[in-house]
Chains A and B, each alone.
Chain A
């Protein structure tokens, strides 16, 4: 698998990670955790609209919305919530937000399921912890597929 198959923003993130040493990758993941946007008020007040991804080590909730006026295919918006005490989980969410938010359903569904492995974090973070990010991506793709009627 190469980054060429990935949407542009996600490919750029993967390239950034791959160009770094392991400790620098952890630092970058920390920056992504800090860059994860807050939920908009309409979701903040309605936790029931978010789904928990139980495969993550720390509580992570997410949801998607499709903007119907965003072009023919519709633009998919992603929303995540994870506590500050869970920076690794927040970092994964931050990567997926920056890499996938605002894309079309087709573009998101084309992301390979094992994309998280491209970040080169598996050794520094351990396979057990990486599983959380793979589960997060899987959940996003399932939700996007269900919302768009496209089969993943």
Chain B
């Protein structure tokens, strides 16, 4: 049974208001017992693997993007059987309404949400503003780990094609819109990793030809919530030059920051066809003969590509 959707003026302007919840709404839902009785499952997903343990939203379970969602051998996500086990162990059933939140304006939460969608989970929502907003508002945190009743989750094979792009897909996509959500230094090729972040190894710097540079954080307000529909339109329709109906691919370094942008394009602005290229720069910047543009200009599609 889907849990009722939040109604408010900000969300109503978005293409899919049912994909977001506010901190106030979640606090009220917890108060009403919806989390305790399993009507609503709250999931925390952070960059730091121990952050949940320092205190989390009451009733929330933890899913770690690295140890839970990534396959530990192949560079890929877990398969249907592993996902079903994971979901069930967290008290999630196939028809559960799941609210995800996390640190850093929901980077990792959006990434986890995107992985849930690879498995076609229907009702999954983001907590607008994430962990930081919840804490900034002085809301309750606990260290008590819930022991949810096992969920009922079938083995569903991932369906990557609608929302996930591989390198070959991106090569075939060249000429259609791409959004690069990394920092300006990464886009121009001045550096190959995030400022003050570990070097994860890319042999070349720069961006995919024709990609527009819209760093992910520009979609977020100071309190970590998504910007209003009008602001997002100014950013992606105005500055990036997207048009309604476009087929869009977003990328970053490993696909986490671009999940945040993917969410904004797909659910807040309503683009039907948006894919996240999770191979991102750690694949493209190492791939032999992948075309690259350096500097601040978007560049043009190389003639030889695909020939």
Q: Which residues of A contact B (CB under 8 A)?
A: 26-27, 29-30, 33, 52, 54-59, 84-89, 91, 123-126, 128-129, 131-132, 135
Report the minimal beta-carbon distance from B83 to chain A, rounded to whole angstroms: 18
Query: What are 28 A-B pairs at a CB distance below 8 A?
Result: A26-B49, A27-B53, A29-B50, A30-B53, A33-B50, A33-B54, A52-B196, A54-B196, A56-B198, A57-B47, A57-B48, A84-B54, A85-B48, A85-B103, A86-B48, A87-B48, A87-B50, A87-B51, A87-B54, A88-B48, A123-B72, A124-B49, A124-B67, A126-B66, A128-B66, A128-B200, A129-B66, A135-B198
- Which chain B residues in 190-211 approach chain A with CB under 8 Å? 196-200
- The number of chain B residues with a CB under 8 A from chain A is 16
What 0/1 pattern do residues 32 to 63 of B give for CB contact below 8 A with A? 00000000000000011111011000000000
If A85-B103, A124-B67 touch, does A129 touch B196 (CB 8 Å cutoff)?
A: no
Q: Which residue of B lies closest to A33 (CB)?
A: B50
Report the minimal beta-carbon distance from B67 to chain A, rounded to whole angstroms: 6
Beyond A54-B196, A87-B51, 10 extra complex contacts between A and B, CB < 8 Å: A26-B53, A56-B198, A58-B48, A87-B50, A123-B67, A126-B66, A126-B67, A128-B198, A128-B200, A129-B66
- Which chain B residues in 139-177 approach chain A with CB under 8 Å? none
Closest 9 CB pairs of A and B: A87-B50, A126-B66, A88-B50, A55-B198, A88-B48, A30-B53, A87-B54, A30-B50, A88-B49
Residues of B within 8 A of A59 (CB): 196
Check B196–A85 contact: CB distance below 8 A: no
What 0/1 pattern do residues 48 to 91 of B give for CB contact below 8 A with A? 11110110000000000011000010000000000000000000
Q: Which residue of A lies closest to B196 (CB)?
A: A54
CB within 8 A of B198: which of A33, A57, A87, A126?
A57
- Majority-rule SS of A interface residues: helix
Residues of A within 8 A of B72 (CB): 123
